[in-house]
Amino acid sequence: MASVQGRLVHLDFEDNDDRMVLIQSRRFKNIDWLENGMAPASVLAWLDAYFAGRNIPLPMEDIDMRGTDFQKSVWQALIDIPLGTHISYAGLAEKLNNPKAVRAVARANALNPVSIIVPCHRVIGSDGTLTGYAGGLVRKRWLLDHEAQMMPVFA
């Protein structure tokens, strides 16, 4: 986790240090950020609830997603994917009224700064298979299965 001025700017898996260094050098060149759990209490509470199987509102006011307008539109579309469901990259591009932008959508998905909170793991291949995920396909499968188990609680 990393934060800038009290807002979460990056959330990734512990074994993705190389990715974190790359993101910091590209997106946050001139910004001091705090690492290792320095996240707003609301974000930590959301993560605790999520992993406990409870769905609570996202604390978006404490998250600073830095990117282009297009990337931010993709990330918002990811947030809008209902818990326990998934969509293809092509479906996400269509949802954004830009069906030819499948590759750009996939790239923005890959650049998601706050894994899990912005649920890029809910995007799958058009044929229904699991495709790339920065946290690895085993984690992606676990997250999707976890969310499927959460569904009966909220139905």
Q: Which residues are catalytic?
A: 120
Q: What angle do CA 139, 54, 63 make, to 5 degrees?
A: 70
Chain-centroid distance of CA 119 in Å reads 4
Q: What does DSSP assign to residue 37? A: S
117: tokens are: 């909170």
The residue written with tokens 């809910």 in the block is: 122
Q: How many degrees, rounded to 5, is the angle at CA 74 between CA 145 and CA 30?
A: 105
CB atoms within 10 A of CB 93: 21
By three-state DSSP, how is residue 9 classified? strand
Q: Which residues, in sequence order, are CB contacts of 1 under 8 Å at separation 6+?
A: 8, 10, 11, 35, 36, 37, 38, 39, 43
